[in-house]
Chain A
Amino acid sequence: MNLESNTVYIVDDDASFLTSIARLLRAAGYSVQAFDSAQKFLDQLAPGMAGCVLADLHMPGLNGLELQAALAKSASPLPMVFMSGQGDIPSTVQAMRRGAEDFLTKLAPKDKLLDAVRRALERGVQERKSRQHLQELRGRFAALTARELEVLEHVVLGKMNKEIADDLGINERTVKLHRTNLTRTLQVQSVAELTRLVVEAGLFKCEKPE
């Protein structure tokens, strides 16, 4: 498992091109791992892997777009940069719509290539940070009991303790006790802060008015 944030995973079936681009990126200061097929790359993919993927569009077996789809579903949705001997518009559009960082021809200038790789890595770092933050948040919410979550849901909707007690069919005092417990667990000071955390963690999305 490689957790370095500047690792570039290169996937291309053309051995010669694979060697040359790996060489360039290494010279440019990146950590590089090269794979001659998409499947081989996916096989060693592990959760929490950092970096970005630089893949050829046309490959035997899984092609670039299929790799992109598989990667998106995985635990490590690394940002992707596509390369192609000759790009075609439908593939480019599809790749970009699915969130590719860039789509380059194999003869693209070095600066454009390095720039795309840099952006992809940065995005990777960002996305990883937000993913970690989210995970931490969700971890905190995960410590709540089912009743506390029920009460929390009503609190962030701005309901009074009496209303909550009526809704849930419990004693108003019991509601107060749950509120105290969950603010302590979540380490928040105010209802406003509690509401922000709930939104950040993406809880109760279905009931939030759009």
Chain B
Amino acid sequence: MVFLVVFVAAIFGNVRCLAVNVTNLANSQPKRVLMLFSEAKDVPGNIMLEQAVKAEMLKDSTDPVVFSSEYLDASHFSGKEHFRVFQNYIGKKYTANDLDLVLAFPSQDYTLAGELPDALFPVVPVVFVAINEMDAPLEISKLGVTGIVQRFDIRGTLGLIKRLQPDTRRVVVIGGSTPTDRATLGRIEEASQSLEGVQFEFWTNRPVAELPGLVRSLPEGTVILLGSILRDVTGQTYYTPQVAQMLAPQASVPVYVLGGWSLGTGALGGSVVDPEDLGARAGQLALRVLAGADPENIPIDVATKGTPMVDWRAIKRLGIKESRVPAGTVIRFRPETLWDEHRDLILILLAVFLAQAATITGLLVQRRERLRAEAEIMNQRTELAHVTRVSTMGQLTSTLAHELNQPLGAILRNAEAAEIFLQKENPDLEEIRAILADIRKDDRRAGHVISRMRSLLKRRSLELKSLDIAELLEEAISMAQPDARARRVFLALQLREKLPAVRGDRVHLQQVLLNLILNGMDSMAGVAASQRLLTVSAKTTGGKTVEVSVSDTGAGIAPDKIERLFEPFFTTKPNGMGMGLAISQTIIEAHGGKIWGGNNETRGAVFFFTLPVDDK
């Protein structure tokens, strides 16, 4: 959002710039601004303020702005003579025609904003910025000068002290002897009245040089509040941050300050005058005036609110809990976190991670979907396998009825015979015993037929077990035998070698075998009975698999249909469902084997399937 606003502003800025260029070419001269400072060039607060004002004006000005700066250095060179020389110098150096604005930064008094520019450049508008506890004199306003009077936020700073260190019982106040320094001390004294339970001590009579020794052993519960100190009792001149730097590293207690420029010296912080914020406000005011606003109509802005600001290192050093720092406090000198240092990299990495995570999640979801679909398909195949098995059973009904009726018939006849024997006068008990043994045998036989039928009809999933392949083939042959008899087909089982056990599901494999055998028998319907031969054989291939083949002497498979044999619903039989081979393929592949079919060299079709040898 912020970016958008800036972007829009930039566009409008450009548009405005173009408009000025076209309509006002003659006036596109750079704006000349003369900056007059009361203090020396090297006063830290002034340097920060000057840069902030310049930056703000350059940022928002439609025209180029050219700055000139002059420094009276009143703290070192007081007196009327020095001021006169300075004024002459300025008067000689600049003419009113050259200037579009005078920006004054008075400190001790407001002469720099009032008398001097009024005398030298009466037509040039003046804007001043004063960090001062004294109000601007009335004549300043009469001269049509506007500006900002920024006061130290003493109450705010005392509030911050109570907030950060609630146990504070004593405040040592240090200040200088210039009028500005004294005005500040007066304000502190005034504000101290509002703070109950805290004792204020004003160390104004001690030379600054002695102070570091004195602050070294201040007791707990004490804080130092550094006011303004441009000159001490001995007449030695200082800058406030300079004094802060002398005291804070030595002090046993925290040092609070009033100007943002004093931070970084080891001082803890305060509700300070932020030179950047003040510079920005002053820059905006200067631009308004440069743009043509009449200073007379702009009232002098007296600001007392500071910016809560702390030095993170001091907070840590003094063991103040970070949670005590009020929200909205500007925290300086916090070591850059990884985030601050490598924000872009982290964002890119994060994006990559997120993309990756999303991809992985996507893949996982896809995988789950696939697994679910596969399970569904498997389920349907089991279902379908059951259906085909039932239909295979349907084809085998005559077989099964026959198979079941054999033992049942035998039981019935035996029972009837026994009845007759028992009616005789001297029943032949040996015969009856033999009958009962036969009944029991046939009963078991009938039971086997039924359980085989049931297992074929049951819905079941694959249960892989070690299987004797020869036994499996014999079983399938014997199941198909009655049907083969009825259809006049000769069934042969060829096992030339001893076969290893395979891993498989007996019932499912029987289904495959029966399906292939029944298909083979179907294909031989049009062949003379004497030539109907169906051969089931098996051999080991490569030691790892057993290959089973079911070969017939029937009509064979049309070459164009061989490829489609295993497709579901593909059938060559008039009333076939076309599922037999498809299901057989599913079953064999579920065993890890392969199934394929083709024609014999001589006549008929042959189907093969492989099964893995059980290596356990």
B-binding residues in A (CB < 8 A): 14, 16-17, 19-21, 23-24, 26-28, 58-60, 63, 83-86, 88, 105-107, 110
Contacting pair A20 B438 (CB below 8 A) = yes
CB distance from B138 to the nearest CB of A (A): 132
CA distance A39 to B442 in the complex (A): 26
User: Does more than half of chain B's interface fall in helix, strand or loop, or is it mixed?
Assistant: helix
Known contacts A23-B417, A27-B420, A58-B485: does B401 contact A17 (CB below 8 Å)? Answer: no
Contacting pair B442 A85 (CB below 8 A) = no
Contacting pair A107 B409 (CB below 8 A) = yes
Contact of A86 among B405, B412, B416, B488 (CB under 8 A): B405
The interface residues of chain A lying within 8 Å CB-to-CB of B486 are: 58
The interface residues of chain B lying within 8 Å CB-to-CB of A105 are: 405, 409
User: Does more than half of chain A's interface fall in helix, strand or loop, or is it mixed?
Assistant: mixed
* Number of residue pairs A-B, CB distance < 8 angstroms: 82
**A-contacting residues, B431-446, CB 8 Å:** 431, 435, 438, 441-442, 445
Residue of B nearest to A59 (CB): B485
Since A16-B406, A20-B435 are in contact, a sample of 20 more A-B pairs with Cβ atoms closer than 8 Å, ordered by chain A residue number, is A16-B441, A20-B409, A20-B412, A20-B442, A21-B409, A21-B413, A23-B417, A24-B413, A24-B414, A27-B416, A27-B417, A28-B420, A85-B405, A86-B401, A88-B398, A106-B405, A106-B406, A106-B412, A107-B408, A110-B413
CB distance from B480 to the nearest CB of A (A): 13
A59, A85, A88 — which one has the most chain B CB atoms within 10 A of its CB? A85
Interface size (B, Cβ < 8 Å)?
29
CB distance from B445 to the nearest CB of A (A): 7
Residue interface mask B384-410, A partner, CB < 8 A = 1: 000000000000001001111111111
CA distance A58 to B489 in the complex (A): 12
The interface residues of chain B lying within 8 Å CB-to-CB of A14 are: 406, 410
B403, B411, B416 — which one has the most chain A CB atoms within 10 A of its CB? B416
Contacting pair B398 A16 (CB below 8 A) = no
Contacting pair B431 A23 (CB below 8 A) = yes
CB distance from A177 to the nearest CB of B (A): 60
| B570 interfacial contact with A, CB 8 Å | no
Contacting pair B408 A106 (CB below 8 A) = yes
CB distance from B395 to the nearest CB of A (A): 14
Residue of B nearest to A85 (CB): B402
**23 A–B contacts, CB within 8 A, in A order:** A16-B407, A16-B410, A16-B438, A16-B441, A17-B406, A17-B409, A20-B412, A20-B417, A20-B435, A20-B438, A21-B409, A21-B413, A23-B431, A24-B420, A27-B420, A58-B402, A58-B485, A60-B485, A63-B488, A85-B403, A85-B409, A86-B401, A86-B405
CA distance A102 to B175 in the complex (A): 140
CB distance from A181 to the nearest CB of B (A): 55
